[in-house]
Amino acid sequence: MPLVRKLAAEFIGTFWLVLGGCGSAVLAAAFPHVGIGLLGVSLAFGLTVVTMAFAIGHVSGCHLNPAVTLGLVIGGRHPAKEMLPYWVVQTLGAIAAAQVLVFIAGGNGSDPLAGGLAANGFGAHSPGNYSMAAGFVCEVVMTTVFLFVIMGATDKLAPKGFAPLAIGLALTLIHLISIPVTNTSVNPARSTGPAVFVQGWALSQLWLFWVAPLLGATIGALIYRFVTPGWAQGPGDPGGPGT
């Protein structure tokens, strides 16, 4: 598959992840009388991955996340030369989605940036006022497990065709656990999109949501390679993320 097509797919996929996930948090989480709440937002993030995995998994691998791309490079599942281009288009897709969300959310006369646009944060900007240390550990651990699940679900010995569901459900669970701590990142691109528009505190805290997920992805990929025999590794389900 030509790189330009992979990059286009990653842009579209990451755009959908941020618009669907952050959009559900901004537009629907606390909507009067029918708010979807934490469970709904968590499910929305998971559904973005499931839907795009089936749509573009066979094109780009449906990473939608710089941390996932790094982990798959370390895990021997993706060429290292494509990592930086993937990071660029994933981040641009997230920023584009945040721009659309700002426009839509402001359509009722309110200021969408006043509520933080679902940006990630710690301390005073954590939904539960969790510390920087707690946020860092949470993001590292959650991304570690996320990469472990991705590596396993897309392993050539895993059941075929189920990788998108396993990975989408894993992301849903991760959000159910960690939204109160950091608003859940495990994805530097997802964090960058809203932060670009919120600016201020969101940009000053953005470093954590790059460093921690990238570290977690590295750990997750290395752990999977350690616990899985070499003959069990290799290209996974061609219709799922990370292939």
- Per domain, the residue ranges of the chain are 3-232
Q: What is the per-residue pLDDT for 1?
A: 86
Q: What is the per-residue pLDDT for 233?
A: 52
For residues 178 and 170, what is the distance between their CA atoms, to the nearest angstrom? Answer: 12
Distant-in-sequence, close-in-space partners of 87: CB < 8 Å, separation ≥ 6: 66, 69, 189
Q: Contact, 213 vs 207, CB < 8 A?
A: no
CATH class of the domain comprising 3-232 = mainly alpha
Question: How many residues make up the chain in this entry?
Answer: 243
Residue 120 in tokens: 């990630």
Torsion of CA 212, 215, 221, 222, to 10 degrees: -140
For residues 68 and 14, what is the distance between their CA atoms, to the nearest angstrom? Answer: 12
**Residue found by looking up tokens 């991705």 in the block:** 150
Distant-in-sequence, close-in-space partners of 11: CB < 8 Å, separation ≥ 6: 89, 90, 92, 93, 96
Mean pLDDT per block of 10 residues along the chain (243 residues) reads 96 98 91 77 96 96 98 96 98 98 93 92 96 98 98 91 96 97 97 97 98 98 87 43 43
pTM reported for the whole predicted model:
0.92
